Amino acid sequence: MKITNEIFYVGVNDHAIDLFEGQYKVPGGMAYNSYLIHDEKIAVMDSVEAHYGEEWLSNIQKVLGDRQPDYLIVQHMEPDHSANIVTFMENYPGAILVSSDKAFAMIKQFYHNEFSDRRVVIKDGDTLSLGKHVLTFVGAPMVHWPEVMVTYDAYDRVLFSADAFGKFGALDVDEPWEDEARRYYIGIVGKYGVQVQKLLARAKTLDIAMICPLHGPVLSEDLGKYISLYDVWSRYDVESEGIVIAYTSVYGNTKKAVQLLEQKLRNAGAAVTVHDLARCDKAVAVADAFRYGKLVLATTTYNADIFPFMREFIHELTERGYQNRTVGIIENGSWAPTAAKKIKAMLEGSKNLTILDPVVSLRSAMNEQSEEQLDALVAELVK
Ligand code: FEO
């Protein structure tokens, strides 16, 4: 597949995978993107996941015919991209490996080979000339690992963006970019907003016509839309107006409170999204909590703590830097409700959160008093 006259797509689709990175459901599969720049010198950008080495080499060979690649450029060492480095280097004994010193240390850790006599170590700002295409390497530490470099080709005005601007889903699956890109970004890179902001600031200095990420489609139109979403996500700003209710319920009483809350909020004209944390795709619930500005956490007290799915969910939020949001709480407890206190303690370190009053406190089931609290919470949420 031609990306430009001299840049070719040589990546692969994976429909056999069930969990990406061992945890993210990917019903639409994954794409492990790799690109080939065909100039006086030939460079391949990144390898692919372990099971797809043969298909990848075959894609490269189809483009090259009898020619041999001169360079394999490794932007990111996570195994979904690095697993076939050794296969490539064995298949093309004349090729040189180009990567950062941090990446070479990881190549040794993962694959027990440093390629010390066949390598070029690059750092931020270094360039590599292939002929017309002069590549500039830009350090992008923690987007998403510390060794990450992205690469700018001034000739075709292409940014090879590593994991940034990627999404879940194979390339032969037709689906809107935003939802799976958000779930991917928040889940995988969400903790590193500051570092993404630094990369976006560098990207602003470049004239970019096309973004070639390591997952998901090549982005060539309306780049402002994608860059602006990345800006919102990495600043932890609110993307959409609305309220997310995330809940757990053991015998259905907390669920009834949630259903009543949902109905009252809808009646008040609010946009509401509800997630049952024991059953939903947690990664979608986490992404939604970051997408919207308001979140209600409804859960039972359990072993004098919070019900496990809710505890895990809040941890997933706080470890990704959850901030700048409004949070309402519904707790339930038959003899000693403590969930609200525990939730507040878990959120204590999060920046710029407004915890709404009142907490809705259920003793086993809704009653007149808790419904009054619920009405007061609705009033706060729709203010
Ligand atoms: Fe797609 Fe961080 O690897």
Q: What is the pLDDT of residues 96-140, one digit of tens each?
A: 999 999 999 999 999 999 899 999 999 999 999 999 999 999 999
pLDDT of residue 114: 86
With a pLDDT cut of 70, the percent of the chain lying above it is 100
Average pLDDT over residues 151-176: 97
- Angstrom distance (rounded) from CA 245 to CA 257: 11
Give the position, in ligand 1's atom list, of the atom nearest the Cα of 215: 1
Per-residue pLDDT of 184-220, as tens digits, reads: 999 999 999 999 999 999 999 999 999 999 999 999 9
From the CB of 49, is ligand 1 less than 6 Å away?
no
Length of the chain: 383
- Angstrom distance (rounded) from CA 131 to CA 173: 35
Q: Which DSSP category does 109 fall into?
A: H
Instruction: Count the Cβ atoms, other than its own, within 10 Å of residue 178.
Output: 14
DSSP characters for 195-218?
HHHHHHHHHHTS--SEEE-SSSPP
What is the three-class DSSP state of 107? helix
Per-residue pLDDT of 44-90, as tens digits, reads: 999 999 999 999 999 999 999 999 999 999 999 999 999 999 999 99
Q: How far is the CA of 262 from the centre of ligand 1 (A)?
A: 37
What is the three-class DSSP state of 362? strand
Closest by CA position to 289, among listed 278, 281, 279: 281
Q: How far is the CA of 181 from the centre of ligand 1 (A)?
A: 13
For the chain, what is the mean pLDDT? 97
pLDDT of residue 177: 98
Residue 112, exposed/middle/buried by CB under 10 A (0-12, 13-18, 19+)? exposed
Closest by CA position to 329, among listed 303, 364, 354: 354
Look up residue 145 and give its two tokens. 């690992």
Give the position, in ligand 1's atom list, of the atom nearest the Cα of 78: 3
Average pLDDT over residues 11-15: 98
Sign of CA dihedral 358, 364, 367, 371: positive
pTM over 0.75: yes
With a pLDDT cut of 90, the percent of the chain lying above it is 99
Q: How far is the CA of 77 from the centre of ligand 1 (A)?
A: 8
The two beta strands, 12-14 and 30-32, are antiparallel
Centroid of chain to Cα 227: 14
Asked whether the predicted pLDDT for residue 330 surpasses 90, the reply is: yes
Helix %, strand %, coil % of the chain (to 5): 35, 25, 40
pLDDT of residue 340: 97
Q: Whose CA is nearest to atom 1 of ligand 1?
A: 163
